[in-house]
Every structure is written in structure tokens, then in C-alpha cells.
Amino acid sequence: MPIDRLPGRLLELRRPLLLGLLLLGAGVVLLPLGIVFLTSLAPTGATPSEEIIPETTTWANYREAWQRGDFLLAFANSTLVAVSVTGFQIVTSALAGYALARLKFRGQQALLLLILATLVIPFQILVVPIFLVLKWGHLINTYGALILPSAANGFSIFLMRQYFTTVPEELEEAAALDGANRLQILARIMLPLSRPALVTLFLFTFIGEWNDLFKPLVFTTRPELKTVQLALSEFQEQFTNSWSLLMAAVIIATVPVVVLFLIGQRQFIRGIGTTGIKN
């Protein structure tokens, strides 16, 4: 039976029921984070299996975790890498996405399929050839080893291409009549109109690089290049773990990306919702 034909009483209950389901889902998602936070407040030496809500709490774990993990250096390195990779991907994805969306050339669909095919190739399979290329270029143990392998991404190109196809071509034709070339149209018309897609790309890329452990672990050994994820790995020892310190470090590492997502969530949702309209 269509929803608009339901009895009035059921229609009145629909909103509270939907709200209740959403709150239940949010509770299920946030429960592990709540346990992590409570564990981070427990005295050093306590384990999560002993008590979910500790009898005594302390904030000293955060200070000790910050100092022990040298998070100031780790935050600086992770921010530099994430911002650099994001900048590269915005440039490469905007150029490639615009070309695939608007330019007509032989092999266009084949190139698009090839780019999409890269999405099913795990990065771990490419690590050996990438390592050899970086070694040949004397980039091992440099910021270049953490930035350049991710300077372009098939998903990012496809994301921008899909959004560009939603922009009316009449806007570009009007700009072309005024004497604008392709790069001017891209910079002054397409990119300003593609703000939701750019925010989505920024969030995806920044958070992905912030949470990346594989590249810093394989391509660097210098302590001064330590990222946030490498700092977290130092809290896990072979035979003993200080769960309170580890959970405090997890909270410290998580706060920046959570705040970043909350700031851009509206544009993120809009960008995700509009990038699949056209083929």
C-alpha cells in the first residue's frame, strides 16, 4: 500500500519511528567510540575487559600519549603529506575529469574504462615497482615517497568527471563566445560550480592519507618522517599493551579528521548525491 494511503495514525508515527531508527543506528556506530574514549580515561594498566566504565578517571593519559608519541611532529608530517597529496589530486583529477567529460577524442571510452580498472588493483600489488622507481629517483626516505605515488587516483578522476557532466554545456558555450579558452572555462566556471565535488574529493583524499600506514611503513625509516599512524603503531608492543595510552592516542589521532568531516559534511553529502546522475 502506498505511504500516502496509510491511516492518519500511522503517518503520525512515521516520523518518530524513523527518528528512533536513526538514533538507534547512531548509537550502534558511536558505541565503539564511546568505549575507546572511556578506556582512554582509565588509569594506566587497566584493560577494556575489566571495566567499561572505570571507577576512577584521569586525563593524564592524553598528556603522556602526546609526549610519548611525539604527536606534534607526527601531526606536522601527516598534515603536510595529506595536504600535498590532496592538492595534486585536485589538479590532476580536475584536468583529467574535464577532458573525459567534455573533450571528444578517439579512445575516450577505452581510457575511461582503463582508469576505472585501476580501482580494482590493490596498492600492495604495485608496491614493489613503485619502490624501485622511488629508489631509482633517490626518493626513498623523503616526503616525495609519501606524496608522489598518490598524486593521481582513478576514483578521484571519475568523481570529477561525473560531476562535470552535470554542469550545463550552455555555460561553457557562452564563455567560449566571450573568448575564453578551455583552461579559463575550467578555472572560472567549472571548478567554482563543482565545489561539492571538490569538497568530497578533499575529504576522501585527506582522510585516506591521514589514515595511511602502508606508505610510511614501507617507503620511510627516518624518525623525522614519522606520521600519525606510525606514531600509533609505537604504542603496540609485542607482549604488553598499555590500553589506556593506546586509546588516548587513538582519540588524539582521530579528532582532526572528525572535525574536518563535520565542517564539510553538507558539501560532502551533496557531492556524493550528484556525482552519479549522468553516465
Q: How far is residue 164's CA from residue 180's CA, in Å, rounded to a whole number?
A: 18
Residues 21 and 156 grouped into a single domain: no
Closest by alpha carbon to 58, among 74, 45, 72, 75?
Answer: 45
Q: If you write DSSP's letter for every residue of 25-90 in order, what string do you get?
A: HHHHHHHHHHHHHHHHTSPTT--TTT-SS-SS--SHHHHHHHHHTTHHHHHHHHHHHHHHHHHHHH
Partners of residue 76 on adjacent β-strands: none
pLDDT for 278 equals: 47
Region 156-184: what's the mean pLDDT? 90
Instruction: Judge whether 52 lies within some domain.
Output: no
Q: Which residues make Cβ contacts (< 8 Å) with residue 13, sequence separation at least 6?
A: none
List, for residues 131-161, the tens digit of each pLDDT value: 999 999 999 999 999 999 999 999 999 999 9
Q: Which residues of 55-91 are buried (b: 16+ CB within 10 A; e: fewer)?
A: eeebeebbebbbeebebebbbebbbebbebbbebbbe
Together in a domain, 22 and 160: no
Mean per-residue pLDDT, 215-222: 92
Average pLDDT over residues 224-236: 89
Q: How far is 157 from 116, CA to CA, in rounded Å?
A: 9
- The phi and psi torsions of 241 (rounded to 5 degrees) equal -135, 135
Please provide the average confidence, as pLDDT, over all residues in the chain. Answer: 85
Domain that residue 217 falls in: 70-274
pLDDT over 50 at 239, yes or no:
no
More confident residue, 38 or 242: 38
CATH number of the domain where residue 230 is located: 1.10.3720.10
Shared-domain flag, residues 174 and 243: yes
Looking at the predicted structure, is the pLDDT value of residue 238 above 60?
A: no
Average pLDDT for residues 12-21, to the nearest whole number? 79
Give per-residue pLDDT as tens, 86-136.
Answer: 999 999 999 999 999 998 889 889 999 999 999 888 888 899 999 999 999
Residue 54 pLDDT:
67
Span 6-33, mean pLDDT?
77
Phi/psi of residue 236, nearest 5 degrees:
-100, 110
The total of structural domains in the chain comes to: 2
